């Protein structure tokens, strides 16, 4: 994409890759052990589950353990929601 803007593509060096990996791991750890994540592990449905995916909610109520997944989108959504609530 940056090549489309006239800027040559630049790859991360080792230090940048290590920093990015550390930040990503911290987000995963934070998301997987948050209060809401612990509720999900106990198969407790939250308000965000109701609008997310009815099939996923059905599986949760049936106590089916979901596959491991990347928590980054949920983290970004929660952060955005927090900022939106503060703005209102």
Contact 12, 18 (CB under 8 A): no
pLDDT at 48: 67
The torsion angle over the Cα atoms of residues 31, 28, 53 and 82, rounded to 10 degrees, is 50
CA distance 41 to 63: 9
Measuring CA to CA, which residue among 27, 58, 28 is closest to residue 43?
58
Q: At 46, list the tokens.
A: 């939250």
pLDDT in tens, the chain (88 residues): 555 677 888 899 999 999 999 999 999 998 888 887 888 888 887 776 676 667 777 888 898 887 767 888 878 888 888 888 888 8
pLDDT at 71: 82
pLDDT at 3: 59
Contact 69, 31 (CB under 8 A): no
pLDDT at 16: 96
Query: Taking the model in full, what pTM does it have?
Result: 0.58
């Amino acid at each position: 994409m940056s090549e489309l803007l006239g800027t040559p593509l630049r790859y991360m060096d080792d230090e940048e890759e290590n920093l990015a990996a550390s930040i990503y791991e911290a987000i995963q750890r934070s998301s997987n052990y948050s209060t809401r994540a612990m509720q999900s592990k106990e198969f407790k449905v939250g308000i965000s589950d109701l609008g997310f995916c009815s099939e996923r909610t059905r599986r949760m109520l049936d106590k089916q353990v979901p596959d491991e997944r990347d928590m980054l989108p949920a983290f970004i959504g929660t952060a955005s929601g927090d900022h939106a609530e503060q703005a209102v």
